[in-house]
């Protein structure tokens, strides 16, 4: 006999990152009854990644079976790169090296599977369970090693015509600016990602530092750190002004490592965004609620959709985020 | 007896601009059986504008009655500024000076009315009848005195949270650039609208010229005109790169006065947009198909929606644009 309610059932949820994967066993009522973490194994090539995901899904299903006495109802997987929703195929991911991997190839069980783009799946979770819970139209902007946004439009994540929507990290905020690794010039990401903040400080101070350290130095008034931080805020204010003018969101939800800086980031950013806009108001900035669990929780929501329970979330406890920290 | 089919019925459609209004009598099968044009009368204040619209709608309905032997099924009106779809109220328009005008206040008849935002209503027409006919996700960008876009998302025009979406004319393309009339700095519109092209050339050449004339001078190699034109193309390429990276549209439909320059605008713009994007392809640029009739035809589509015939367009002839030029 399980300690969980009999009709709950569960899904296996996996969030595949560039270096590690986060997995969970999530019931229909949103209880995260098990979580795990494992390397993606990208250095071993795409076949290695596919094998690692299959084995992770299989192990999570075994955990679920032993805890809940049955096989999972479905599997949801968030992956980086391009995803074709119609054919449930992971089309392409530069950091994993794969092309055209069918969802069924990632799962060793005969159960329904749904794939989602990683950032949009995180945005789905923030929209259903997190900081955008009551909003239908907002931007979820995780600022980490890179920057990509999940545009929530009319209640759901928007992928554009071909799955490439949301590349706000590569809009040209400073057209005469620095060259980005993507080959374009003046991209937001090249000034404002956590990696960029660390890189730009380290180059100017001739001393390596993480973004977290640059934030601390900025708070302490270190002039080099202050300038680098200010450039990041300026770049973000331009990008968010552009987003606001184009999409008129009801809020902007900041996530990822850089958002951990809290008011050190959000206070000057909100002020500068407000100054930049003259004929309309700025949307409020909010902090993401789900942290690093957003992708896994979004994958669980996808899993419940695959299982034919699109409204599983309706019954999810409001404190899901608090109980779901991935180790 | 009417020369038109008995079950056709018709709607009255009006496109309200800053200085003039375009009106039409449009049957269920999309025949534009009458058109007219009239001053908006904005110099007389908002009450004057409301009275002018009411009288125009009444006169068009009288034309329709005499041609088709019945009252209109409904009225569709495209207006500038902010529109609240839910309450059918024209909330605000800087150029008309009005606030909170209910749709029913614009119509002297007891028939259903739908209001639409002018650019989005034009985008609706291009999406249903024009250059975006088979597309669900694209940008309609009329470049005239000002610049605003209609973002067609998932098959329909997108207004954002509060009706302010699509303000691509005021995204900061050159953050250190020229001050815009809106108070912001480096807006697309301040470099690339037809008015900006005329203004910037006239200031540099110390000789007044229309945008059309600047285009002709550019084609002839006049160095001042070439530089002004090049700035406009550069600004547009930045804005369209940003739009493409954020929204991944399947096409960009260029309209308005500046698009009349044809390849003089679209060739360098397509080239520069393609160069600017490195990790994804550029969407094709298309020329708008409906010209200055887009707003009136979109208003007719709104009218048919108000009449409870949302799919009126399904039966519309493909050559509607050719038969509907507004005088």
Residues of A in contact with B123 (CB under 8 A): none
What distance in Å separates the CA atoms of residue B57 and residue B141, rounded to the nearest whole number? 28
What's the pLDDT at B6? Answer: 44
Contact B245 A162 (CB under 8 A): no
* Model pLDDT, residue B2: 44
Work out the percent of chain B whose per-residue pLDDT is above 70. 93
Using alpha carbons, select from A61, A25, A100, A12 the residue that is nearest to residue A306: A12
Of A47-56, A316-325, B88-97, B283-292, which range is least confident? Answer: A316-325
User: In chain A, what residues touch B173 (CB-CB under 8 Å)?
Assistant: 175
Q: Is the confidence at residue B275, as pLDDT, over 70?
A: yes
Give the pLDDT confidence score for residue B278 in this predicted structure.
94
Query: What ranges do the domains of chain A cover?
Result: 10-124+290-323, 137-287
pLDDT at A278 over 60: yes
Residue B91, pLDDT above cutoff 60: yes
Q: How many CB atoms lie within 10 A of CB B8?
A: 18
* Shortest alpha-carbon distance between residue A138 and chain B (Å): 9
pLDDT at A314: 63
Statement: residue B314 has pLDDT above 80: no
Half-sphere exposure of B233 (CA within 13 A, CB side): 24
Average pLDDT, chain B: 92
Share of residues in chain A with pLDDT > 90 (%): 85
Please give the pLDDT value at position A121: 96
Query: Cβ–Cβ of B168/A250 closer than 8 Å?
Result: no
Cα distances (Å, whole numbers) of residue A65 to A11, A29, A36, A59: 11, 17, 15, 10
Question: In this predicted structure, what is the pLDDT of residue B87?
Answer: 80
Confidence band, pLDDT 50/70/90 cuts, at residue A7: low
pLDDT at A315: 64
**pLDDT for the residue B315:** 64
> pLDDT tens digits for B12-36?
999 999 899 999 999 998 899 999 9
Give the mean pLDDT of chain A: 92
Q: What is the mean pLDDT of residues A26-48?
A: 94
> B239-270 pLDDT, tens per residue?
999 999 999 999 999 999 999 999 999 999 99
User: Domain B10-124+290-323 belongs to what architecture?
Assistant: 2-Layer Sandwich (3.30)
**What is the pLDDT at residue B155?**
94
Tell which of A94, A246, A278, A279 to mutate to test the B interface (max B CBs under 10 Å). A246
Query: In chain B, what residues touch A168 (CB-CB under 8 Å)?
Result: 245-246
* pLDDT at position B324 over 50: no
Which residues in chain A are closer than 8 Å to B277, comparing Cβ atoms?
184
Separation in Å, CA of A191 to nearest CA in chain B: 15
Of B154, B184, B246, the CB nearest to A167: B246
Check A168 against B247: CB less than 8 A apart: no
The answer to whether residue B319 scores a pLDDT higher than 90 is: no
Q: Does the beta-carbon distance from A164 to B280 stay under 8 Å?
A: yes
Residue-level pLDDT at B7 = 57
Average pLDDT estimate for A193-206: 97
Interface of A with B (CB under 8 A): 136-137, 149, 151, 153-154, 158-168, 170-175, 182-184, 238, 241-243, 245-250, 276-280, 283
DSSP assignment, residue B278? S
How is B20-60 classified by DSSP, letter by letter?
EEEEEEEETT--EEEEEEEE--GGG-HHHHHHHHHHHHHHH
- Better-scored residue on pLDDT, A225 or B87: A225
Phi, psi (degrees; rounded to nearest 5) at A170: -120, 20
Strand A10-16, strand A74-79: pairing = parallel
Q: Describe the strand order of the beta sheet including B138-142 as a list of residue ranges.
A: B156-157, B150-153, B138-142, B252-255, B285-287
How many CA within 13 A on the CB side of residue A274? 8
* Cβ <8 Å between B278 and A242: no
Q: Are A96 and A80 in contact (CB under 8 A)?
A: yes
Range B113-135 average pLDDT: 95
User: Do A248 and B182 make contact, defined as CB atoms within 8 angstroms?
Assistant: no
B-chain residue closest to A185, CA distance:
B276
Tell if the CB–CB gap between B241 and A160 is shorter than 8 Å. Answer: no
pLDDT reported for residue B1? 39
Q: Which pLDDT belongs to residue A327?
A: 38
Q: In the predicted model, is pLDDT for residue A6 greater than 70? A: no
Q: Do B165 and A247 touch (CB under 8 A)?
A: yes
Task: Choose from B175, B230, B238, B251 for mutation: most chain A CBs within 10 A.
Answer: B175
Same CATH topology for B10-124+290-323 and B135-287? yes
Question: Looking at residue B281, what DSSP letter applies?
Answer: P
pLDDT higher than threshold 50 for residue A2 = no
pLDDT, tens only, A202-218: 999 999 999 999 999 99
Do B184 and A238 count as a contact with CB atoms less than 8 A apart?
Answer: no
Using H for helix, E for strand and C for coil, what is the string for chain A? CCCCCCCCCEEEEEEECCCEEEEEEEECCCCEEEEEEEECCHHHCHHHHHHHHHHHHHHHHHHHHHHHCCCCCEEEEEECCEEECCCCEEEEECCCCEEEEEHHHHCCCCCCEEEEEHHHHHHHHHHHCCCCCCCCCEEEEEECCCECCEEEECCEECCCCCCCCCCHHHCECCCCCCECCCCCECECHHHHCHHHHHHHHHHHHCCCCCHHHHHHHHHCCCHHHHHHHHHHHHHHHHHHHHHHHHHCCCCEEEEHHHHCCCHHHHHHHHHHHHHHCCCCCCCCEEECCCHHHHHHHHHHHHHHHHCCCCCHHHHCCCCHHHHCCCC
CA distance to partner chain B, nearest, from residue A310 (Å): 20
The mean per-residue pLDDT over the stretch A164-189 comes to 96
Asked: is A137-287 a CATH 2.60.130.10 domain? The reply is no
Residue of B nearest to A175 (CA): B174
Q: Which CATH superfamily is domain B135-287 in?
A: ATPase, nucleotide binding domain (3.30.420.40)
Is the complex ipTM higher than 0.85?
Answer: yes
Residue A91 pLDDT exceeds 60: yes
- Residue A187's Cβ-count burial label (10 Å; 0-12, 13-18, 19+) is buried
Higher pLDDT, A312 or B272: B272
* Strands B20-27 vs B32-39: parallel, antiparallel or unpaired: antiparallel
pLDDT band at residue A269 under the 50/70/90 scheme: very high
**Which tokens go with A148?**
């990509």
Lowest-pLDDT range of A225-239, B53-67, B75-89, B199-213: B75-89
Of chain A, the percentage scoring pLDDT greater than 70 comes to: 93
Q: How confident is the model at residue B233 (pLDDT cuts 50, 70, 90)?
A: very high
């Amino acid at each position: 006999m399980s300690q969980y309610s009999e009709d709950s059932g569960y899904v296996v949820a996996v969030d595949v990152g560039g270096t590690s994967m986060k997995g969970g066993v999530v019931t229909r009522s949103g209880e995260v009854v098990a979580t795990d973490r494992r390397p993606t194994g990208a250095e071993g090539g795409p076949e290695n990644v596919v094998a690692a995901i299959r084995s992770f899904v299989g192990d999570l299903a075994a955990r679920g079976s032993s805890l809940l006495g049955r096989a999972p109802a479905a599997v949801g997987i968030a992956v980086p790169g391009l995803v074709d929703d119609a054919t449930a195929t992971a089309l392409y991911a530069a950091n994993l090296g794969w092309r055209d991997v069918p969802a069924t190839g990632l799962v060793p069980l005969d159960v329904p599977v749904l794939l989602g783009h990683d950032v949009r799946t995180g945005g789905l979770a923030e929209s259903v369970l997190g900081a955008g819970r009551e909003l239908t139209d907002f931007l979820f902007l995780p600022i980490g090693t890179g920057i990509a946004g999940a545009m929530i439009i009319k209640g759901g994540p928007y992928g554009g015509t071909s799955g490439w929507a949301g590349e706000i990290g590569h809009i040209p905020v400073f057209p005469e600016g620095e060259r980005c690794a993507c080959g374009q010039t003046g991209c937001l990401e090249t000034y404002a990602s956590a990696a960029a903040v660390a890189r730009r400080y380290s180059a100017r101070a001739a001393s390596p530092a993480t973004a977290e350290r640059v934030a601390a130095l900025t708070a302490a008034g270190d002039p080099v750190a202050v300038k680098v931080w200010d450039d990041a805020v300026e770049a973000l204010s331009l990008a968010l002004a552009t987003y606001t003018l184009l999409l008129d969101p009801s809020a902007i939800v900041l996530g990822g490592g850089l958002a951990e800086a809290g008011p050190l980031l959000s206070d000057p950013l909100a002020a500068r965004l407000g100054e930049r806009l003259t004929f309309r108001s700025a949307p409020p900035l909010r902090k993401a609620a789900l942290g690093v669990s957003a992708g896994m929780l979004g994958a669980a929501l996808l899993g419940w959709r695959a299982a034919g329970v699109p409204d599983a979330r309706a019954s999810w406890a409001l404190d899901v985020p608090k109980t779901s920290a991935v180790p």
